[in-house]
Structure formats: C-alpha cells, structure tokens
Amino acid sequence: MKTIGLLYSKSTAYTAELGERIAAAWGKGIEYVDIDTAHLADVEKHAALILGTPTYFNGELPSAWDEFLPEIEDADFSGKRVAIYGPGNQVETPVSFADGVGILARYFEELGAEVVGRTSREGYEYEHSLAECGDQFVGLIVDPTNQPELTDARLTAWIKQVKKEFGVK
Ligand SMILES: Cc1cc2nc3c(=O)[nH]c(=O)nc-3n(C[C@H](O)[C@H](O)[C@H](O)COP(=O)(O)O)c2cc1C
C-alpha cells in the first residue's frame, strides 16, 4: 500500500502535538518522518506528504526545517501531493502570520509538488501572511494562543479534506 509521509520535528511543541493528532485521526497508511534525521529516500518513498511547521523568528522556518530542506533540494516531486499545516500567532505577529506554511508551500511547489489542503482565510485577523493565496491559505493554520477553541473543528475538517484530495478512503 502506498503510504503518506508525515513530516515534522519533535523539537517543536504544538506542531508535534498536531502531528500526533493527525496520525491518530488518519488511521492506517501514515508514517512519521523525523526531519531531524531523515534523508531524501525517507521522503521520496511516500505517495503524498503532510508537512508541519510553526513560524519562528518573526516570519521564518524553525531551524529543523532550514537544516532539512537542503537534503531534498534536488528532488523531483512532480505528481506528489503535499498538504501543510502549522500553528501561528495572529495577534503577536500579525505581519508574518504563519509565514512558515507559505515558505514550505513555495519550496515544495518549486520541486514540482502539488500543494493541496487549502483553507479559507475567513475567521482570522492579521495584516500579512506568506501563507496567503487569494482568499485562501495554502494550508491549515491554527492559532493555539488566540483561538484555541477553533482548533478541533479546523483540524477535523482539514484531515477529511486532505484525505479526499489525496484520494485516500
Ligand atoms: C520567537 C518567536 C517568534 C515567533 N514568530 C512568529 C511569526 O512570525 N508568525 C507566527 O504566526 N507565529 C510566530 N510565533 C508563534 C509560534 O509560531 C507559535 O507559538 C507556535 O505555536 C509555536 O510552535 P511550536 O509550539 O510547535 O513550537 C513566534 C513564536 C516565538 C516564540
């Protein structure tokens, strides 16, 4: 059976917790890929990918992703579907809200991947985000500090949507 790779770093807190919740809700066919130790082959073997990243340093990826990306920089991900999630803080960092999600989307698109799992921007208040694409975000964004009560519903709906977009039953 073709598997789904779930990539995040255990050095994160909420991102890792969301990853565990995604894996639990997904059921069979999903495999954790630890970006702190993974190589290209650990990623390439999966039919589709789910990527988790917070945004740190006012608009940047955490160092775990920064250090992992060169590992896959020559990959060809044509035909591979990728869905991205991440927590952010729209009140404290309104000009770089969840930028990490947008940075990963662009990087994987440049490798040929198709980014799915887009969500509506409705219900968020911020000024600027690299995760923005028209009236949507390029992935799932949650705000555990300011909108913790919305996370469950957002996550549940997104998992259902991504399963459908990945063609998984
Ligand atoms: C130093 C620092 C910088 C941050 N910068 C941003 C930012 O630019 N944009 C954003 O949306 N969130 C930002 N955040 C909020 C984090 O993304 C948020 O707290 C997230 O839940 C952290 O992920 P983690 O719990 O998986 O480590 C920042 C947090 C810290 C501590």
CA separation for the pair 90, 147 (Å, rounded): 9
Asked, for residue 107, whether it belongs to a domain, the answer is: yes
92 CA distance to ligand 1 centroid (A)? 9
In this prediction, residue 7 carries a pLDDT of: 98
- Give the pLDDT confidence of 65-116 residue by residue, as tens digits: 999 999 999 999 999 999 999 999 999 999 999 999 999 999 999 999 999 9
In this prediction, residue 169 carries a pLDDT of: 76
Asked, for residue 61, whether it belongs to a domain, the answer is: yes
98 in ligand 1 pocket by Cβ < 6 Å? Answer: yes
Residue 1: band (very low, low, confident or very high) from pLDDT cuts 50, 70, 90: low
48: which strand partners?
A: 4, 81
Asked, for residue 139, whether it belongs to a domain, the answer is: yes
Asked, for residue 99, whether it belongs to a domain, the answer is: yes
Domain that holds residue 139: 2-164
Q: Which atom of ligand 1 is nearest to the CA of 98?
A: 11
Asked, for residue 169, whether it belongs to a domain, the answer is: no
Query: pTM for the whole thing?
Result: 0.98
The ipTM (two decimal places) reads 0.98
19 in ligand 1 pocket by Cβ < 6 Å? Answer: no
- Scanning 27-122, the segments in alpha helix (DSSP H) are 40-44, 63-68, 99-110
53 in ligand 1 pocket by Cβ < 6 Å? Answer: no
Q: What percent of the chain has pLDDT over 70?
A: 99
Q: Is the pLDDT of residue 153 over 70?
A: yes
141: which strand partners?
A: 86
What average pLDDT does the chain have?
A: 97
Q: How many domains does the chain have?
A: 1
Q: Quick one: 87 exposed, middle or buried, by C-beta within 10 A (0-12, 13-18, 19+)?
A: buried
Instruction: CATH number of the domain at 74, please.
Output: 3.40.50.360
Q: Once rounded to an integer, what is the mean pLDDT over residues 11-27? A: 97
